[in-house]
Amino acid sequence: MSFWNFLRPPPLDPKLKLVGSTAIFQNCTRQELETLRLYLHERHYLAGEIVFDEGEEGEGVYIVASGKFRATRKGMLKKKNLGEILPGECFGEIALLKSSCRLATVVAEEPSVAFAMFRSELERLADARPRLGFKVAVQVARLMSSRLHRFLEGETDTSILS
Amino acid sequence: MNQENRPSHPSTLEHPVIWIGVIGGTLGSIVLLDRIAWLALPLILAVVFYYLVHPALVRLQHWGLAPQHSLAIFLVLASLVCVVASLTVLPAMLNSLNQFQSNLPETMQRLTQIASEFLRNIEARFPMAKKADLAEGLQARIDFFAQGKGTQFAGDAALFAFKWLPSLLLVPFLTFFFLRDGTAFHQLILRAVPNAFFEKTLLLFDRMNRQMHAYFRGMFWLTVLDTVTLGLGLWLLGMKDGTFSFQNAMLLGLVCAVFAWVPYVGTAVGGLIAVCVCALQSPHDPQLLLGVVLLFCGVRLLDEFLYTPATVGRALHMHPLVSVMMIFAGGMLGGVYGLLLALPLLGIFTVLGQMFGEIWFDSRLRARHAARNLLEKRLASNDLDL
């Protein structure tokens, strides 16, 4: 081990590494991610368990830590499968912007772990650190815009994942 | 199930069972807190300090400091303030207290004299008051109190202080642990909440937190407004004869505003103190005394119709009738405790009632929880090869 290793900061917590790799928080600095740690709520889901329902009022965003989730939406005749949500991806981000109805039902496909982040807590954080709030808001807008484009181009239906 | 397809339920707090629960919970808590007052007082004070200090700690954490570092900074600052206060303000306060103690017999004598004179004047004008022997009766009662009951009262007061001192010493200790472990405790409780109710519970915590913050912030602004109004009023009333300096008027205003934390009774006690101080400063100025009484009545009205609705009332979103009824009921059940705690406890139980209603009447959430239990059972059966 070199002497200078002593001056290096300790490695980032794997939880925060994962959060930092998601689309919404990818522009956050290490210090900002450390602050986010206070607001991460770890939730464990069994295979087949519902995370939230379509039409339910949403209060926060979920980041998949392990396992697999599936998003579905009611169709005219049968359920429409919107796709799988894998580790490092997030869902429910529209709830970060406002308290609105969930647009899809998300179910755990296998035993899974997700980190939930609550809108009100993030809003308070954004009040105290506007730069962080701005970064998160811009990333949520970008994510939604890219999903809308993909949806309009008919590539996939994931614009309604949130 | 879509939101629009769900069966509609009455707005949660309109449900009579929840209303009864909210009122019963509030009054029950007042009775319980009154029973365990020795422990409840430091707990309540620690919660108040927690809510006053916590926003500052959160701000430090938002700037990138670890929770333990922000707490350490606060402790260092608090210790510094204590040391500086004990070196500067405390000796002056002790000196004033000493002076007050040595002047107390003379002050009491003057106050008795002023009150007797006032009552004699009333007796001279109204024959009915003369029949009641108001001045003589007051003198006899004061003599009786000073000779017998007074010494007993002083002993009781000393015993009271001795009993409550250890309880008050708990306050900084409890506040420290609330600040240090509050977030972890919050997370621990949330971890125990089933997934189906998780978002609603987060919402509940958030609303309760906001309610408490809003109440304490409201109380702070109410105290500031009362202090300024009373202080300016007293200063203007006494300006002609130079009865009060600006600082003294503001200090008296602050003392009365703090007494006003106890609804109704506190304002009366504060008013009495202000009248006594005015009577001592200018004993032969009945106009000043009348002015002070009118000032307190005016501030009471301002409090009731302008300040409280604009600060605490708006923070708690409560109907004035409900607030007043709960304050009286709290006072009957828990004395000063009840008067002080009725509104904040009502605020907390209202939020709890709302959230309970939202969860209890949401059949989908309960079904989801039941499904999770079923999945757990199935998993256990599979593991056991049943």
Express each pLDDT in B199-227 by its tens digit.
888 888 887 777 777 777 777 888 888 88
Dist. CA A139–CA A90, nearest whole Å: 12
Dist. CA A46–CA A66, nearest whole Å: 12
- Please provide residue A110's backbone torsions phi and psi, each rounded to the nearest 5 degrees: -145, 170
**What's chain A look like in SS3?**
CCHHHHHCCCCCCHHHHHHHHCCCCCCCCHHHHHHHHHHCEEEEECCCCEEECCCCECCEEEEEEECCEEEEECCCCCCEEEEEECCCCEECCHHHHCCCECCCEEEECCCEEEEEEEHHHHHHHHHHCHHHHHHHHHHHHHHHHHHHHHHHCCCCCHHHCC
Nearest Cα to A23, choosing from A130, A137, A121?
A137
Q: Over 50: is that where the pLDDT of B11 sits?
A: no
Using a CB–CB cut-off of 8 Å, the residues of A that contact B are: 31-32, 34-35, 38, 41-60, 74, 101, 116, 118, 120-121, 124-125, 128-129
CB proximity B190 to A under 8 Å = yes
Strands across the sheet containing A41-45: A41-45, A112-118, A60-66, A90-91
Distances (CA, A) of B64 to A33, A36, A40, B67, B343: 9, 10, 16, 9, 36
Dist. CA B158–CA B155, nearest whole Å: 5
Q: Which residues contact A134 (CB under 8 A, 6 or more apart)?
A: A126
When CB atoms are compared, the residue of B64, B67, B190 closest to A31 is B64
Task: Say which amino acid occupies A150.
Answer: R
> What is the maximal distance between C-alpha atoms in chain B?
100
Q: Would you say B289 and B307 are in contact if contact means Cβ atoms under 8 Å apart?
A: no
Q: Which residue, among A36, A46, A91, A101, would best test binding to B if mutated, counting the most B CBs under 10 Å from its CB?
A: A46
Dist. CA A24–CA A141, nearest whole Å: 9
Considering only alpha carbons, which residue of chain A is nearest residue B182? Answer: A38
Distance of CA A8 to the CA centre of its chain: 30
A-contacting residues in B 47-76 (Cβ below 8 Å): 58-59, 61-64, 66-67
Q: How many CA atoms lie within 13 A of A81 on its CB side?
A: 6
**CA of A26, closest CA in chain B: separation in Å?**
18
Q: Would you say B241 and B258 are in contact if contact means Cβ atoms under 8 Å apart?
A: no
Give the mean pLDDT of B74-84: 89
Higher-confidence residue of B169 and B138: namely B169
When CB atoms are compared, the residue of A31, A60, A128 closest to B199 is A60
Domain coordinates in residue numbering, chain B: 11-103+173-367
Q: Which residue, among B199, B205, B361, B377, would best test binding to A if mutated, counting the most A CBs under 10 Å from its CB?
A: B199
When CB atoms are compared, the residue of B4, B61, B187 closest to A35 is B61
Task: Say which amino acid occupies B309.
Answer: P
CB proximity B131 to A under 8 Å = no
Domain coordinates in residue numbering, chain A: 23-160
**Would strands A90-91 and A112-118 be described as parallel, antiparallel, or unpaired?**
unpaired
Name the packing angle between helices B89-125 and B265-281 (round to 10°). 90
Give the mean pLDDT of B267-294: 77
Give the mean pLDDT of A136-152: 85
Task: Say which amino acid occupies B17.
Answer: V
Q: Over 60: is that where the pLDDT of B130 sits?
A: yes
Per-residue pLDDT, B36: 82
CB contact under 8 A, B375 and A48: yes
Q: Over 60: is that where the pLDDT of B314 sits?
A: no
Specify the CATH class of A23-160 in words.
mainly beta
Q: Over 80: is that where the pLDDT of B33 sits?
A: yes
Higher-confidence residue of B319 and A86: namely A86
Per-residue pLDDT, A62: 92
CB proximity B32 to A under 8 Å = no
**Pair of tokens at residue B327:** 């304050």
Higher-confidence residue of A89 and B93: namely A89
Can you name the residues that pair with A106 across neighbouring β-strands? Answer: A52, A71
CB contact under 8 A, A54 and B2: yes
Nearest Cα to B180, choosing from B42, B54, B79?
B54
SS3 B307: helix
CB contact under 8 A, B199 and A124: no
**Pair of tokens at residue B221:** 């602004």
Euclidean distance between the first and the last CA atom of chain B, given in angstroms as a whole number = 33
Banded pLDDT at B336 (limits 50, 70, 90): confident
Most confident among B130-139, B155-164, B330-339 (mean pLDDT):
B330-339
Q: Over 60: is that where the pLDDT of B315 sits?
A: no
Q: Which residues contact B363 (CB under 8 A, 6 or more apart)?
A: B7
Question: Cβ contacts (< 8 Å) between B375 and chain A: which residues?
Answer: 46-49
CB contact under 8 A, A41 and B187: yes
Q: Over 90: is that where the pLDDT of A56 sits?
A: no
**Would strands A41-45 and A69-73 be described as parallel, antiparallel, or unpaired?**
unpaired
Q: What is the ipTM of this complex?
A: 0.79
Express each pLDDT in A82-122 by its tens digit.
888 999 888 888 888 877 888 889 999 999 999 998 888 88
Q: Would you say A19 and A63 are in contact if contact means Cβ atoms under 8 Å apart?
A: yes
Express each pLDDT in B169-184 by its tens digit.
888 888 888 888 887 7
Nearest Cα to B77, choosing from B155, B150, B179, B4?
B179
CB contact under 8 A, A124 and B58: yes
Banded pLDDT at B54 (limits 50, 70, 90): confident
Banded pLDDT at B7 (limits 50, 70, 90): very low
CB contact under 8 A, A34 and B66: yes
CA-based radius of gyration for chain B: 27
**CA of B363, closest CA in chain A: separation in Å?**
12
Express each pLDDT in A57-83 by its tens digit.
888 899 999 999 999 988 777 788 888
Give the mean pLDDT of B242-246: 74
Cβ–Cβ pairs < 8 A, chains A and B = 75
Per-residue pLDDT, B326: 82
Q: Which residue, among A13, A16, A49, would best test binding to B if mutated, counting the most B CBs under 10 Å from its CB?
A: A49
CB proximity B6 to A under 8 Å = yes
CA-based radius of gyration for chain A: 17
Can you name the residues that pair with A57 across neighbouring β-strands? Answer: A101
Considering only alpha carbons, which residue of chain B is nearest residue A53? Answer: B1
Give the mean pLDDT of B145-165: 65
Task: Say which amino acid occupies B39.
Answer: L
Question: Cβ contacts (< 8 Å) between B199 and chain A: which residues?
Answer: 52, 58-60, 116, 118
Q: Would you say A118 and A60 are in contact if contact means Cβ atoms under 8 Å apart?
A: yes
Per-residue pLDDT, A44: 92
Give the mean pLDDT of B117-145: 71
Give the mean pLDDT of B239-262: 79
Banded pLDDT at B9 (limits 50, 70, 90): very low
- Please provide residue A64's backbone torsions phi and psi, each rounded to the nearest 5 degrees: -80, 125
Considering only alpha carbons, which residue of chain B is nearest residue A130? Answer: B62
Most confident among B242-246, B292-296, B348-352, B374-378 (mean pLDDT):
B374-378
Banded pLDDT at B4 (limits 50, 70, 90): very low
Higher-confidence residue of A7 and B31: namely B31
CB contact under 8 A, B199 and A58: yes
Q: Over 70: is that where the pLDDT of B317 sits?
A: no
Question: Cβ contacts (< 8 Å) between B66 and chain A: which residues?
Answer: 34
Q: Over 60: is that where the pLDDT of B3 sits?
A: no
Average pLDDT of chain B is 77
Give the mean pLDDT of B309-320: 62
Banded pLDDT at B30 (limits 50, 70, 90): confident
Can you name the residues that pair with A42 across neighbouring β-strands? Answer: A115
CA quadruple B190, B195, B196, B198: dihedral, nearest 10: 30
SS3 B263: coil
Q: Over 50: is that where the pLDDT of B6 sits?
A: no
Banded pLDDT at B230 (limits 50, 70, 90): confident
Q: Which residues contact B76 (CB under 8 A, 6 or more apart)?
A: none
CB contact under 8 A, A55 and B62: no
* CB neighbours of residue A93 within 10 Å: 25
Higher-confidence residue of B132 and B249: namely B249
CB contact under 8 A, A34 and B64: yes
Give the mean pLDDT of B330-352: 81
Dist. CA B124–CA B104, nearest whole Å: 30
Express each pLDDT in B298-308 by its tens digit.
887 777 666 66
Banded pLDDT at A160 (limits 50, 70, 90): very low
